[in-house]
Structure 1
Amino acid sequence: MIVIPIVIGVITGMFLAFYPQSGDDSKLLTESKLIQNGSPIMGNPSASITILEWGDYQCTYCHKFHQSTLNTIKHDFIETGKVKLVFKDFPLNGPDSILAAEAAYCAEDQGKYWQYHDELYKNWAGEKTGWVNHDSLDKFATTISLDLNKFNECLDDHKYLERVNQMYEFGKKIGIDATPSFLVFNNEKIIKITGNQPLEVFLKSIDEL
């Protein structure tokens, strides 16, 4: 098991080094621990650099990231095999955000996590406005041709509620306190980016690794 070392030093103002606050925290900072229970990996699982995004489907700036910066990262780094992406839920906007997260994992049961994930952000309609509900979630499921009976059984049973709650608690434990937040890392260094920063911040963090 490789524990990612503590990073000490000054990183440019728009993003900063993330490091464990105690010996116990350092045990959490392995690649396998960081991505455990998250989304399926987008990209080459063997890519040396990982971007771990912590997000909320109702979050305004998460939506902006997915509609802009992520497209370039996908094209230049994920599709070329240099970087892999994992998404973890950090639902700050109440029960609707939790329900949306559960729905994405119900879609994963049918092999369509990322398609559903994209539908959620594509149909984003604000924070705490009521756009996340069973009718809209069914509509998104239909759009990507999910089996609605299986999808609704999963959602009604709250099959993935505990998984979402565990991700949220783990995020708090390692210092996540806002969405979107990103940990960009390899086996030597972790860089934390908070907020929907300009593309240049992500490019610089990748260059640092």
Structure 2
Amino acid sequence: MDQLSIPLPRLEARGREDFMVSPSNATALRLVETWPDWPEGRLALIGPAGAGKSHLAAIWAEEAGARILPCAALSADEAPQLATAPLVLEDCDRGCDETALFHLLNACAAAGRGLLLTGRTPPATWRVALPDLASRLSATTPAAIEDPDDTLLSVVLLKLFSDRQLQVKPALIGYLLPRMERSFAAASALVDRLDRASLARGVPINGALARELLEG
């Protein structure tokens, strides 16, 4: 019989020491660390959902003293003020006020402030209607985080469990790796599924529970 469960709060670790470097994200990290020498003062950090874009952006924001803002919240009126300091603009590929983004790119370039854009795909592929904005986005250097290798995926799984205040044995990670989809999103979904099953059944997250969910 399923038990009444009280999920613990998630404590997402976003410090530099929590960012695991592997071949899949090393190039992106190196490009981010070249600030303030980014071409035109801006960089586009791109990668699949859950790849660690927000984590790496938060690291840069801490070092640069930058504000973090969702692109969807951007307005043309505030672009000049935002350009007075470094800025992270997140999820730029999911739609925004194109005029506002165009003015912000120009204002940041004129002010010499760092602008870090994040998205899932290269900025040259973002669907925008303004030709001048499309031209500037196409000229923005992309820093890509690729799909994870085994080393990074192992650390991602451990971090996802840790963010939920869950401690698991390394053997469980070794069991999960060859049986899961090779993506950050799949890792997040798998940890969530295991956590929910553990809470509902009142059992620990271990190999037996994983086998039941994945092979049952």
Bigger share in helix = 2
TM-score by length of 1: 0.28
TM-score (norm 2): 0.28
